[in-house]
Amino acid sequence: MFLQQIINGLTVGGVYALIALGYTLVYGILELINFAHGEIYMIGAYLGIIFLGIFTAAGLTQYSLFLSLFLTFVMSVIVCSAYGFTVEKLAYKPLRNAPRLNPLISAIGVSIFLQNYVMLTQGATDKVFPHVIPVTTVEFLNVTMTSLQIFIIIASLLLMAGLHLFIMKTKTGKAMRAVAQDKTMASLLGINIDRIISVTFIVGSGLAAVAGLMVAMYYGLVNYSIGYIAGIKAFTAAVLGGIGSIPGAMVGGLVLGLIESLGASYLSSEYKDAYAFIVLILILLVKPTGLLGKSGENRP
C-alpha cells in the first residue's frame, strides 16, 4: 500500500516537475509568475489528442503505433512551444518595463483567454484520449505498476536530465544563466536578451506539452479546465523547491506528488487539491526560499 502510493506519487510528481520547470525558468529570467503556463500544459494535452486523432485517421497508427506516438509528441511540442512563444511576444514583451503587477494581470488575462478559447473550439465536455496504447501491468513486491506509469517516470527523469545538460553545457544555456543573473550585464556582453527570453518560453512550453500529453495518456480524459489546478500545483512545486532553481523544481515536483498521493490515501482524499495550497502557504511562511533556492533581493 505504501509503496504503491509512492509509485503513484512519483508518476504525478514527475508531471508536476515538468510543468514546474517552465515556471522556474521563466521566473528565473523575467521574475514573472507566468499564470498562463498551466493553460499551455492543457493545450499540450489537447494537441496530443488532436494529433493522435489525425494520425489515426490517416492510418499511421495502424501501420506503426510507435511512429505515430512519436510524431504526436513531436508535433504537440512544436505547436505548444509556438503558443508559448506567441504569448510571450504578445502579452508580456510590451510590459517588460511596466510595474511588476501589470504583467501578472496580463498573464491572468492570457490564462482566461486560452481556457475559453479551447472551451469554445473543442467543447466544454471531457475529451477522451484514443485507446490505442496497449497497457500492461507489472507486479513487483506487491506493487502494481502500469507500463504508462513506468513510461511517465522514466520520460520525465530523462527530460529533466536533458534540460540540466542543456542549461549547463550548451552556449544558449550559459546565456540563459547569465541573463538570469544580470540582464543588463548580459546584454552588454552581447547576449540577445529577447532571443534568450523566447528560448526560455519555448523550452518551458515544450516541457509543459510533454507533461500534458503524458497526463492525457495516463488519465485518458482531458478537460479545458485542467490547466488551472495543475498550474497552481506546479507553481507550488516550483516554490517548494525554491523558485528560480532548476534542480529545485524537479525535487519540488516529486515531493509534492508524494505528499499529495500519501495525503490522499492516509488523511482524506476529499481535500486532495487543498494539500498543495497548504504546503504552499506553509513553505512561504516558514522557508520562503524553498528547499534548494537562494535568497535574494526580490525573493519573498
Partner 1 sequence: MKKVLFMFWCALLSMPFMGIKGGAYLFVGICVSYGVYVLLAHLFGKIKKPAIPVNTKLLSTAFIAFAFILPFLIKDYYTDVAILVCIYIILALGVNIVVGFSGLLHLGFAAFYGIGAYSNALLTTHFGLGFWSALPLTLLFTSMAGLLLAFPALRLKGDYLAIVTLGFGEIIRLVLNNWDSVTRGPNGISNIPSPFILGFEISNLMYYYYLVLGFVLIAAFIVKRVYHSRTGRAWLSIREDETAAEAMGINTRKYKFMALSFGAFWAGLAGALFASKMHFVSPESFSFMESVFVVCMIILGGLGSIPGVILGSLILVLLPEVLRDFQLYRMLALGVGLVLMMIFRPQGLIRKN
Please give the residue ranges that form the binding site for partner 1 (CB under 8 A): 32-33, 46-47, 50-51, 79, 82-83, 86, 90-91, 94-95, 98-106, 108-118, 120-122, 228, 232, 235-236, 239, 270-271, 273-274, 276-278, 280-281, 284-285, 288, 300
**How far apart are CB 299 and partner 1 at their closest, in Å?**
9
Q: Give 2 or 277: the residue with its C-beta nearer to partner 1.
A: 277
How many of the other CB atoms lie within 10 Å of CB of 41?
A: 29
Q: Give 121 or 142: the residue with its C-beta nearer to partner 1.
A: 121
Q: Give 165 or 274: the residue with its C-beta nearer to partner 1.
A: 274
Is 100 within 8 Å of 33 (Cβ atoms)?
A: no
DSSP string, 255-282: HHHHHHHHHHHHT-STTHHHHHHHHHHH
Residue 197 neighbours by CB under 8 Å, 6+ apart: 29, 30, 88, 93, 179
Q: Give 95 or 157: the residue with its C-beta nearer to partner 1.
A: 95
Is 69 within 8 Å of 258 (Cβ atoms)?
A: no
Q: Give 70 or 277: the residue with its C-beta nearer to partner 1.
A: 277
**How far apart are CB 100 and partner 1 at their closest, in Å?**
5
**How far apart are CB 239 and partner 1 at their closest, in Å?**
8
**How far apart are CB 89 and partner 1 at their closest, in Å?**
9
**How far apart are CB 283 and partner 1 at their closest, in Å?**
10
H or E, element range at 222: strand 221-222
Distance of alpha carbon 150 from alpha carbon 157, whole angstroms: 11
Is 38 within 8 Å of 233 (Cβ atoms)?
A: no
Indicate the pairing of strand 143-146 with strand 137-140. Answer: antiparallel
Which of 285, 2, 4, 33 is closest to 146 using CA atoms?
Answer: 4
Q: Give 122 or 172: the residue with its C-beta nearer to partner 1.
A: 122
Q: Give 188 or 285: the residue with its C-beta nearer to partner 1.
A: 285
Which of 162, 237, 242, 244 is closest to 206 using CA atoms?
Answer: 162
Residue 142 neighbours by CB under 8 Å, 6+ apart: 3, 4
**How far apart are CB 15 and partner 1 at their closest, in Å?**
20
**How far apart are CB 125 and partner 1 at their closest, in Å?**
15
